[in-house]
Amino acid sequence: MGILKDCINNKNTNSIPVWFMRQAGRYLPEFRNIRSKNTNFIDLCLNPNLSKEITLQPLKRFKIDAAIIFSDILLIPYALGQKVEFEKNFGPRLGDLNVNDILKVSDDEIKKKLNPVYDLINKTSQDDILKNKDLIGFVGGLWTLLLYMLNKQSPKKGNIDFFSNQNHNILIKKIIHTQKLHIKNQVSKGASVIQIFDSWAGLLNQDKYEDYIYKPTKELVEFIKSLGVEAICFPRNIKSYKEFCQTVKPNAICIDYEVDPIEIAEKIEIPIQGGMNPNFLLLEKNEMLKNAKKYLDIFKDRNYIFNLGHGMMPDTNPENVKILVDFVKEYK
């Protein structure tokens, strides 16, 4: 294992660990080449050979410390039988949700549908390029998955009022069970760290946090820890990262770019990841590095993993990524 896990476990490292959300993606010409020949996104995620190639593309370019599997959080609703499609210039579009049908889906059926993901992890974890590096698996947070499954597309504005749904609690139990199954299978095949992406945490009213974010995420974190690996949580735009960490107790917390990093450094004791605005990679070199240095300086005396406060932008110049990674690695 690599310095990412060392950092999460509060060990001293020779350099600051660095990786990026969406580090394998549309900003890389080699990814665009594969994507142009594979128009169905779900099928691409479920092609172990191509998804392995995509997962490792950024490690062949940059001196980063971890790979994150090329996959998607919406493979869970897909595995539960809900139709999931990705439309160009729109994003994910999900089919109608039939809770009774979802409840009938067996663990064997789920595993069969997601086996290509586990095959990807098994193949990737054994690649020489990952020697002394970590392989990150992931799941979506309960709240974010619920939003997609019930809203049937990306939520853009405000809350979705589905709290009176009569099948709600039993659906939650099924989703959490499926999340655990997916996590367990990822770890068994070689994932050394699991990140929980609650991408739409910022849309939830605080009086609902306990039921839809804190309680289910804590359950997942405890499950991940029981498997002997570390849990990183990314509750994007949540109102209080401090309260989240105190309640959920992840091994590390990933922060978004709208939160004040100085406040985070003062209030949070566990290892911290991320924070920098992805748009800063679109700036000229000196301005980009100035913003990166701000985060490096603030977290200089902390166990810190350099990352962004959200995923890499599609129009990012790969050369800027290389410059940024080298800058982080040389930072003292």
Which domains are present in the chain? 3-330 (3.20.20.210)
Helix/strand/coil for 270? coil
**Predicted confidence (pLDDT) at residue 161 exceeds the cutoff of 90:** no
Q: How confident is the model at residue 158 (pLDDT cuts 50, 70, 90)?
A: very low
pLDDT at 65 (0 to 100): 98
Q: Distance (Å, rounded) from C-alpha 120 to C-alpha 56? A: 11
Nearest alpha carbon to residue 136 among 67, 228, 84: 67
| Strand 84-87 relative to strand 91-94, pairing | antiparallel
Residue 160: the pLDDT is 60
* Tens-place pLDDT, residues 300-332: 999 999 999 999 999 999 999 999 999 999 998
The reported pLDDT for the residue numbered 154 is 86
Total-model pTM: 0.96
Q: 198 pLDDT band (50/70/90 cuts)?
A: very high
pLDDT of 258 over the 70 cut:
yes
pLDDT at 86: 94
Whole-Å CA distances, 280 to 55, 63, 73, 313: 23, 19, 26, 10
Average pLDDT over residues 185-211: 96
